[in-house]
A and B are shown apart, each in its own frame.
Chain A
C-alpha cells in the first residue's frame, strides 16, 4: 500500500498570505496525484489532478507541483473561503489519501 504523508498537520495563516502544503508519497507515483479541499460539513472538492492541472472552475491562485514522491500545493494569496482541510490522493496504484492539512485563520 502506498502511504501519503502530509505536512504540516495545521497551517495558521492570515488572509492574503501564501500557503505551502506538502505531500510526500512512500513510492513513486509519477504525476498521478490529486488534491482536494474539504470544508466543514461538505464533501471534498477536486482542486488539482495530474499534480499540476487545475480542475474546472478552480481559481489560478491554486497551483500544484512535483512528481515522483514529493508534491506541493500552493495557494498564492489566501482568501477567506480557502480556510479548509486539504487532502492529497495518489492514483498510481490503488488510490490512497494523505491524512490532511488544516489551513486555519491565524
Chain B
C-alpha cells in the first residue's frame, strides 16, 4: 500500500539546521508531487509548499522562502525538507503528504510527522 515514512524527532539549538526525510513506498515516486505541511503545537495545518518529484522544481508558500529547502533523492524515493537558521518558532510537527493528482493538489496519504523542537 502507499506509505510515507518520515524520519524521527529532532532536538536542535537555535541557529542550527535540520533535515527531515520522507521515504515513499507502494507507488511510482516521480508520478506524484510531494507537499510539506507544518503544524505548530496546538495549532492548525499550514501548507509550506510542494516539490515536483519528476522535475525537482520546488514551489514555496508565502512565509516559507529563504530558510526552507525541498529536495529529492529519486533513487531511494525520498523527499527532504531542510530548515536552516532554526528559530524557536520553527518548533512544530512537519508532515509530508503526497499530491494525489498532477493538476489538483489534495493530500493523500500523509507521513506520520516529524517533531522538530528548537530550544537552547
Binding site for B on A (CB under 8 A): 1, 32, 34, 36, 42-46, 49, 55, 87, 89, 91, 94-100
Residue of A nearest to B4 (CB): A43
Secondary structure of the A side of the interface?
loop
Contact B113 A43 (CB under 8 A): yes
Give every chain B residue within 8 A of A95 (Cβ-Cβ).
Answer: 35, 47, 105-107
Q: How many residues of B contact A (CB 8 A)?
A: 20
CB of B61 closer than 8 Å to a CB of A: yes
CB of B55 closer than 8 Å to a CB of A: no
Contact A34 B45 (CB under 8 A): no
Closest chain B CB from A34 CB (angstroms): 4
Contact A98 B44 (CB under 8 A): yes
CA distance A87 to B43 in the complex (A): 12
Contact B46 A89 (CB under 8 A): no
Give every chain B residue within 8 A of A96 (Cβ-Cβ).
Answer: 47
Contact A43 B62 (CB under 8 A): no
Knowing A89-B106, A91-B104, A94-B61, the reply to whether A43 touches B47 (Cβ < 8 A) is no
Contact A100 B44 (CB under 8 A): yes
Q: Apart from A34-B106, A34-B107, A55-B108, what are 18 other A-B pairs with CB-CB below 8 Å?
A: A32-B104, A36-B107, A42-B112, A43-B110, A43-B112, A43-B113, A45-B110, A46-B109, A49-B100, A87-B44, A89-B45, A91-B104, A95-B35, A95-B107, A97-B46, A97-B47, A99-B44, A100-B45
Give every chain B residue within 8 A of A36 (Cβ-Cβ).
Answer: 45, 107
Number of A-B contacts (CB under 8 A): 53
Q: Which of B47, B62, B105 has the most CB of A within 10 A?
A: B105
Sorted nearest first, the 3 A-B pairs with minimum C-beta distance are A46-B108, A43-B110, A34-B106
CB of B95 closer than 8 Å to a CB of A: yes
Per-residue contact bits, chain B 80-120, to A (CB 8 Å; 1 contact, 0 not)? 00000000000000010100100011111111110000000
Residue of B nearest to A49 (CB): B106
CA distance A55 to B109 in the complex (A): 10
Give every chain A residue within 8 A of B108 (Cβ-Cβ).
Answer: 46, 49, 55
